[in-house]
Amino acid sequence: MKKTLVKAITVSLSSMPFAVSLAAPASDRPQCDYQHEWLSSACKRVMRVAHDGTWDLYVTGYGWHIDGFEGRRSELNPWSYGGGAGKHWVGANGNEDILFAFAFSDSHHNVEPIGGYARQWYTKPVLGGLQAGGGYFVGVTARSDVVHYLPLPLALPIGSIRYRRASLMGIIIPRIPGLNDGDVAWRRYE
């Protein structure tokens, strides 16, 4: 189990482009000069977070299995305990770019590493700082029950509630016929 855990985290972290660039000096930073403006813009956002962002600590807690399990829901692990680290950058308009990597206990009590980039747009603060946010997450994960920890790319919607410096975030993992049996709502605490 320990070798599998180390291998899964190492494979997932090594496949994330920002893992190496976090410590690169300014002169060694990759240039974001691409032929397509959207690609240059995305590269600049990621590099800004990696080099100028604020460090975060992540704690995971609960995974809700919505439907499709027909009486097997009690066999699945709802406690997705885990943690990790990342960085975030908040723009002048309050929207957020995030880079992160962490690992948690999946539905079958196996370790699942995950990491990537998230972009969220937020509402104006109400009640002294409460905001709702929504956006997207792109990254990579690896699961023991899906080709034994082969890194898998992800692109999923993300939503959150933020109060000043704390966030409660959630990702919906949709049903994919032949791959998983039901929807999962997953939450992350920052």
CA distance 126 to 135: 19
Identify the three-state secondary structure at position 162: strand
12, 97, 106, 160: which is the annotated catalytic residue?
Answer: 106
108 is a catalytic site residue: no
Q: Point out the catalytic residue in the list 65, 97, 160, 167.
A: 65
* β-bridge mates for residue 120, sequence order: 96, 135
Q: From the candidates 12, 80, 107, 167, which is the catalytic residue?
A: 107
Taking Cα atoms as reference points, which of 81, 60, 64 lies closest to residue 185? Answer: 64
Q: What is the DSSP letter of 129?
A: T
* Active site annotation includes 107: yes
Phi and psi at residue 3, to the nearest 5°: -65, -40
- Spatial CB neighbours of 146, under 8 Å, sequence gap ≥ 6: 152, 179
| Residues tagged active-site | 65, 106-107
